[in-house]
Amino acid sequence: MELESHIDYDRPGIPLPKDHVNRAFYGLGVHTTDQMVSIFGAPEKVYYDIRSQSEGSNDYYHVELFYKNFKAIVKTSMIVKTPYPRFILHGTKGSFIKYGIDKQEECLKAGRMPWEKDFGIDPKENYGKVSFTDEEGKDRNLTIPTPLGDYGRFYDVFVEAIEGKKGSLVTEEEALAVIEILENGFSGQNPRVHAFNKNNKTE
């Protein structure tokens, strides 16, 4: 199985801050990497390709997280003119492709509030498409409506965790794994591979 998670833009030549913590991998990779670690845990190995495609800033990254039986890829480029899928998933019996990112941020920038009608709703043309072979050996194609996101849930759970009502959505182990993956992206020359041991430490 192979999973790709992309956040791409068409912003050639737009300068990014010189410090790497404000560039593409730290700024956007933290989100895509966190998604993978929260679902699959810490990887066994990580491949890094972090570099510049335009003005000397690290505005591109292609990072591969290797697990026992599959690979997850997180990637961002600032020179993608033609829309690229947000998610691509290939398995032994089928594939899933999803275009477009969560619409909540776009709505907020437009001055719309979460309680307003249709806030954050994904347009139908961005719904996920899955193609697979069913148990009878027939090829099938389905459209998967996008679940509605809820930024506010983060703050609700944050308060509940502080008050001791519920545990955190992100474990300490997951947070440490994501931090290590991010930091090791700049600990040596690119491209390269880092291996994780059982304690989520790189070797």
Residue 109 maps to a domain:
yes
- Total domain count, the chain: 1
**Domain encompassing residue 152:** 2-195
Residue 18 maps to a domain:
yes
Residue 203 maps to a domain:
no
Instruction: Render pLDDT for 2-13 as a digit per residue (tens, 0 to 9).
Output: 999 999 988 776
Mean pLDDT of the chain: 89
- Check whether 198 has a pLDDT greater than 60: no
Q: What is the reported pLDDT for 203?
A: 47
Verdict on whether the full-model pTM lies above 0.95: no
Name the more confident of 193 and 202.
193
- CA 193 vs CA 66, 75, 147, 182, 183: distances in Å: 10, 16, 35, 13, 13
> Residue 25 is encoded by which pair of tokens?
């991998």
Residue 55 maps to a domain:
yes
Any idea which of 52-56, 113-117, 133-137, 142-146 has the lowest mean pLDDT? 52-56
Q: What is the percentage of the chain residues whose pLDDT exceeds 70?
A: 90
CATH label of the domain that carries residue 74: 3.30.360.10
Residue 201 maps to a domain:
no
How many CA atoms within 13 Å lie on the side-chain side of 14? 11
